[in-house]
Amino acid sequence: MKRSATVAACACAALTLSAFGSLPLAAPAAADPRLTEKQATATGSGGAVSTVDADASAAALSVLRKGGNAVDAAVAAAATLGVTEPYSAGIGGGGYFVHYDAESGEVSTLDGRETAPAALSQQDFIDPATGERYPFSPELVTSGVAVGVPGTAATWQRALDEWGTLSLKKALAPAIRTADRGFVVDETFREQTLDNKERFAAFDSSAELFLPGGDAPEVGSTFKNHDLAATYRQLANKGVDEFYTGDLAEEISSTVQAPPIAEDTDLPVPVGEMTPEDLADYEVLEQEPTQVGYRGLEVFGMAPSSSGGTTVGEALGILDGFDPSGMSPADAQHHYLEASALAYADRGRYVGDPAFVDVPTAALTDPVFAAERACEIDPDSAAAKPVAPGDVTDYDGQCPSSTSGWEEKEDTENVSTTHLTTADRWGNVVSYTLTIEQTGGSGITVPGRGFLLNNELTDFTTAEYDPADPNRVEPGKRPRSSMAPTIVLKDGEPMLALGSPGGSTIITTTLQTLINRVDLGMSLPEAIAAPRASQRNTAAVTAEPEYLDTYADDLESLGHTLTPSGDSFTPNAEIGAVAAIEIGPDGTLTAAAEPRRRGGGSAMVLEGER
């Protein structure tokens, strides 16, 4: 049920802004409309937001300040991230939206994942000139064939219809202002542009927008996107049907089928199959969240097509039989890594789009199944990787004999995703992860529209065809995702909401942050700042430098192999970028974002009565 926006606005009139430190928040995006400072932690009681970007957080907070609720604020922040973080998210992509409704006490989810066009087949990933599969990079990542039907715009409208108080027009207003007046280019934006310079230069529309004068925008300059502002205005005035059935749908499908390729590029750019009918047929799915108990808490996540909820949930279920708080730091990390590997084995074997695959979600989140999987953890020795999946058809909590192994087969690390978390003064909470896949998505900007198209179909298993693989390519299917927006309840009330970008490391980042906070006695800011490692049922654990410095010797003595994080898809050796909000027993809201990763995040709050 929607709250009265008029009543909400009157009730919020006396609220003021607050944050730790000296960040001036008295009038967000008003005194200086181009925010450059970020605060990683803030506390208040009248509403809160955590994102990677100060402009996006300010947009959400302005909505909360005027009486909007957490859903309204989430859409405003997401639309603004489409302006300021265009290489991570936007209406050319998709995502997953998790919502706690204070009035009903229910957690609901929206699956806005991209879908494969109806005409897509495994053959589309084969180079007709050679008969061989297209190499993952640069061919597939920079192509029309990798573009899935976007779900983000439809997700915003569905969320507002279900739980919001604002119209889409009002929710988009802050993002339109930001796109028109511009934002200040930071080092991350320039670096990401330069990293994609060859790909953007391959398309006339992308080069015109992101490489003015042939180079990335300078740090400190103002980047404006009038094309995106105009596109947002069109959606605001005419509704999202314009995106899925109007002229914009024709333009998107035409761009996928015939990308605006520059004459001087050497990139092959395989074309895609998307049609206007694919866009017209797109549906956002509302489904039951995953739910597991952990240390007396209830942890809710995103069900398949995402693997986030099942894999985080299973790993927590495995760890629930142990006591990391009573272990040495290295032993606690050992159990975290082993539980993660076991859960990833089951993820790879069983999880795909449930419209195409019989996903055993109930078994994967069953504490009895988790207890049986926990038998595989040797407290004194790391198992050889990859470990075998469990048997979801026959389990009783007793230690079984091993089955055959299953290796992960995904091609990419969905690292340019972004996450945001919002909470309002009435107790509603949103955890929302959205993406266009890799940094810069497909590299293709829809001409004159100001947004990049995703390359999400690279999340399918494209390297080989296996009819037993739940993530194999099929028309109309949603590729398996690792996005893991999460809401935790204590005694039926929200305690914590969080999520992260980072491809398949999203799951381990979310899991590790939960363990840090719940088991290891860290505050939320400490849990987010702590060094990270990711074990995804692979021979080596990927770890940040500080993690290696702290744990490598002890973990290697237990048989773990560790390798530094950082490659072309994970710059600066960072894993994840958490945005979270904790709700204290007295109603205090602690918004917390990354202090350093991805240039640091932005936490903002309102003071006032809940």
**Other CB atoms within 10 A of residue 356 CB:** 16
At residue 18 the predicted structure's pLDDT band, cuts being 50, 70 and 90, is very low
pLDDT of 415: 57
Report percent pLDDT > 70 for the chain: 90
> Which of the two residues, 551 and 28, has the higher pLDDT score?
551
pLDDT of 470: 95
CA gap 200, 211 in Å, rounded: 8
pLDDT digit string, tens, across residues 475-499: 999 999 999 999 999 999 999 999 9
At residue 34 the predicted structure's pLDDT band, cuts being 50, 70 and 90, is low
pLDDT of 608: 72
Question: Across-strand partners of 18?
Answer: 605
At residue 609 the predicted structure's pLDDT band, cuts being 50, 70 and 90, is low
How does 211-221 read in b/e, with b if 16+ C-beta sit within 10 Å? beeeebbeeee
CA gap 503, 559 in Å, rounded: 26
At residue 361 the predicted structure's pLDDT band, cuts being 50, 70 and 90, is very high
Q: Do β-strands 562-564 and 541-543 pair in parallel, antiparallel, or remain unpaired? A: parallel
> Which of the two residues, 477 and 25, has the higher pLDDT score?
477
pLDDT digit string, tens, across residues 380-402: 999 999 999 999 999 998 887 55
Quick one: angle between helices 54-65 and 168-181, nearest 10? 140
Contact (Cβ atoms closer than 8 angstroms) between residue 25 and residue 603: no
Place of tokens 């809940």: 610
Q: What is the DSSP string of 300-325?
A: EEPPTTBSHHHHHHHHHHHHTTS-GG
For the chain, which residues make up each domain, given as ranges? 290-412+504-568
Residue 237, φ and ψ in degrees, nearest 5: -85, -30
pLDDT of 15: 38
Residue 62 tokens read as 């302005």
Q: Do β-strands 602-607 and 16-18 pair in parallel, antiparallel, or remain unpaired? A: antiparallel
CA gap 81, 419 in Å, rounded: 10
Cβ partners under 8 Å of residue 266, min gap 6: none
pLDDT digit string, tens, across residues 114-141: 999 999 988 888 888 888 888 887 888 9
pLDDT digit string, tens, across residues 281-338: 999 999 999 999 999 999 999 999 999 999 999 999 999 999 999 999 999 999 999 9
Mean pLDDT across the chain, nearest whole number? 90
Contact (Cβ atoms closer than 8 angstroms) between residue 440 and residue 458: no
pLDDT digit string, tens, across residues 62-103: 999 999 999 999 999 999 999 999 999 999 999 999 999 999
- Burial class of residue 271, CB neighbours in 10 A (0-12, 13-18, 19+): middle
pLDDT digit string, tens, across residues 412-451: 444 578 999 999 999 999 999 999 998 999 999 999 999 9
Q: How many helices and strands, by DSSP H and E, does the chain display?
A: 19, 20
pLDDT of 131: 84
Contact (Cβ atoms closer than 8 angstroms) between residue 606 and residue 48: yes
**Other CB atoms within 10 A of residue 265 CB:** 16
| pTM summary value | 0.92
Residue 510 among the catalytic residues: no
CA gap 214, 192 in Å, rounded: 15
CA gap 505, 503 in Å, rounded: 5
Contact (Cβ atoms closer than 8 angstroms) between residue 338 and residue 536: no
How does 396-423 read in b/e, with b if 16+ C-beta sit within 10 Å? ebeebeeeeebebebebbbbbbbbbbbb
Sign of the CA dihedral with 407 first, then 408, 411, and 413 last: negative
pLDDT of 35: 65
At residue 459 the predicted structure's pLDDT band, cuts being 50, 70 and 90, is very high
> In this model, does residue 406 exceed pLDDT 80?
no
CA gap 175, 29 in Å, rounded: 11
Distances (CA, A) of 99 to 12, 102, 496, 583, 602: 21, 10, 12, 15, 21
Contact (Cβ atoms closer than 8 angstroms) between residue 602 and residue 577: no
CA gap 432, 77 in Å, rounded: 10
Give me the amino acid identity at 572: N
pLDDT of 285: 98
Nearest residue to 502 (alpha-carbon basis) of 452, 419, 436, 575: 575
Q: Do β-strands 183-184 and 418-424 pair in parallel, antiparallel, or remain unpaired? A: unpaired
pLDDT of 17: 40
pLDDT of 411: 41
Question: Of 115, 142, 178, 417, which residue is the catalytic one?
Answer: 417
Give me the amino acid identity at 561: T
pLDDT of 10: 32
Residue 118 tokens read as 């109806």
pLDDT digit string, tens, across residues 207-235: 999 999 999 999 999 999 999 999 999 99
pLDDT of 247: 93
> In this model, does residue 567 exceed pLDDT 70?
no
> Which of the two residues, 398 and 245, has the higher pLDDT score?
245
Average pLDDT, integer, range 151-177: 98
Report percent pLDDT > 90 for the chain: 82
Alpha carbon dihedral 356, 359, 362, 368, in 10-degree steps, equals: 170
The CATH number of the domain covering residues in 290-412+504-568: 1.10.246.130
Contact (Cβ atoms closer than 8 angstroms) between residue 291 and residue 364: no
Q: What is the DSSP string of 457-520?
A: GGGSB-SS--TT-TTB--TTPPPPB----EEEEETTEEEEEEE--STTHHHHHHHHHHHHHHTS
Give me the amino acid identity at 239: G
CA gap 3, 125 in Å, rounded: 48
Residue 149, φ and ψ in degrees, nearest 5: -65, 120
pLDDT of 28: 36
Quick one: angle between helices 226-238 and 70-84, nearest 10? 150
Q: What is the DSSP string of 32-74?
A: SSS-----SEEEESSEEEEES-HHHHHHHHHHHHTT--HHHHH
Residue 436 tokens read as 């266009």
Place of tokens 């099942």: 310
- Burial class of residue 228, CB neighbours in 10 A (0-12, 13-18, 19+): buried
CA gap 530, 576 in Å, rounded: 11
